[in-house]
Amino acid sequence: MVKNINMNKVSIIICSFNRASILPRALDSVLKQTYNNFEVIIIDDGSTDNTEEVVRKYLARDERIKYFKNSVNLGIARSRNKGVVLAQGEYIAMLDSDDYWLSPEKLQKQVSFLDANPEVGIVGTGIILVDENDREIKQDIYETEDKNIRARILAKNQFAQSSVLFRKKAFNQVGSYDESLNVCEDLALWLALGLKYKFANLPELMTAYLIHSGGISQSRKKEIASITDKIISQYKKNYPHYSRAKFKSFLRMMLSLF
């Protein structure tokens, strides 16, 4: 059994709901990391499958893993906030249970980056989008420098949720994930963080993002487009190129109707 290290520097938060079949892939990618001063906080959002049974096997292997089950389904934003409240680490890593980390050096490189750049509040990585058979769909390398990220973030989110490492103190300073949002709560948090800290991404493909079969329903696309539009409008005075982002938002709204 791997024993817990006191005063973990990183808290890795994995929220899951009825994903017992794929949760091990996410956990295994964490346990393969070369950086090991971390705790893993699993928030089971009221699963009705055998998620708890799957997690119990990992708990027996590694004391760094901690398991919390919501008595009812709280939703992703509330579950993530619960995870951050429970977290003891200086840095927070988010990993959705259907995604996984590709590089065993992901955490090490991100921790080193934040340690060396105290003005940066959040650092992400490039991602590979995969299907349910782990086949690559496409690659996405985001802007890496603060200035360039700010120039594009209203038009396109520059951080993949499962790729980020951010400072817990920065999170506490700006609030939390907006629990009134069913989608895009991550973008709202990043934009709030950017008012106090600089942005950064590592130019490496270190995270796999799962695209589920069936895609997104039209009603869901409409909801995402509407909420995204409201979020970017809230920050139109804080980030450049709002007009360009607004036009792209308009196009998303139109496409969601067909």
Q: Encode pLDDT of 61-96 as tens digits.
A: 999 999 999 999 999 999 999 999 999 999 999 999
Using CA atoms, how far apart are residues 148 and 12, in angstroms rounded to an integer? 27
What's the CATH number of domain 10-215, 3.90.550.10, 3.90.420.10, 3.40.50.720, 3.40.50.2300? 3.90.550.10
162 and 207 Cβ atoms separated by less than 8 Å: yes
Q: What is the pTM of this model?
A: 0.94
Per-residue model confidence (pLDDT) at position 253:
78
Strands 120-130 and 165-167: antiparallel
Place of tokens 């997104």: 216
Task: Identify the pLDDT of residue 258.
Answer: 65
Helices 218-234 & 185-193 angle (0-180, nearest 10): 20
- How far apart are the C-alpha atoms of 27 and 201, rounded to whole Å? 23
Per-residue confidence (pLDDT) for residue 213, from 0 to 100: 80
Q: Where are the alpha helices (DSSP H) in the chain?
A: 23-31, 51-61, 76-86, 106-116, 146-152, 168-174, 185-193, 218-234, 242-255
pLDDT < 70 positions in the chain? 1-6, 214-218, 258
Token look-up 């069913």 returns: 182
The string of pLDDT tens digits covering residues 119-145 is 999 999 999 999 999 999 999 999 999
Helix (H) or strand (E) holding 42: strand 38-44
Q: Which two tokens stand for residue 144?
A: 């890496």
Burial 111-131 (b: 16+ CB within 10 A, else e): beebeeeeebbbbbbbbbbbe
pLDDT given for residue 250 in this prediction? 81
Task: Return the pLDDT at 256.
Answer: 75
